[in-house]
Amino acid sequence: MKTETLEKLQAAIRDIEDFPKPGIVFKDITPLLLDPEVFKLAIDELIATLEGQKVDKIIGIDARGFIFGAVIAHQMGIGFVPVRKVGKLPHDTESVAYSLEYGEAEIQIHQDAISAGERVMIVDDLLATGGTAAAAIELVKRLGGELVAASFLIELDFLNGRELLGADVPVHSLLNY
């Protein structure tokens, strides 16, 4: 990525202290979404993490991953697949539960969303502890999909989420904190 692009992306992320709770610095991406030039740069750089590899489907993770995933799928002219919190997808689903700091969460994918052998990119705005992304990877694998990339706008390096995603999945992030 060009230095100029990196600086524009960085400048469009806003730190919010003590959100959602005291001691946490939240990375607010809404200024980036408000600026069409920077939003476009982010989309193009996320696509560039594929390094020209062919993909069949883009997976976006509920809910901010929908914003980036849907735009990437539309721009590339390929299908978009939402991975959603439990109870939101109406047809036959595959489910994976995973641990949160307190308690458990569960995400789902439609069973007919990916066919065996299809090449898949997972997109989300943030790689933090990696729990949700690891669960999304497991969903894709259960349906026989091949993970070409898991790409994130932001990675919080100090949370080591990348380690949870498995050595066989290429993980990319545009901004590291």
By beta-carbon proximity to a copy of itself, the closer residue of 60 and 161 is 60
| Residue 94 among the catalytic residues | no
The nearest distance, CB 153 to a copy of itself, in angstroms, is 13
Q: Which residues contact 96 (CB under 8 A, 6 or more apart)?
A: 106, 107, 108, 135, 136, 138, 139, 142
Mark whether 64 is an active-site residue.
yes
Binding interface with a copy of itself (CB under 8 A): 14, 16, 19-20, 26, 28, 30, 33-36, 39-40, 43, 57, 60, 62-64, 66-68, 70-71, 73-75, 77-82, 84, 87-91, 110, 113
Say how far apart CA 55 and CA 146 lie, in whole Å. 9
CB nearer to a copy of itself: pick between 112 and 157: 112
Strands (E) in the chain, as ranges, are: 14-17, 25-28, 57-61, 79-85, 93-99, 104-110, 119-127, 146-155, 171-176
Q: Give the nearer residue to a copy of itself in terms of CB position, either 60 or 165.
A: 60
Which of the residues are catalytic? 64, 101
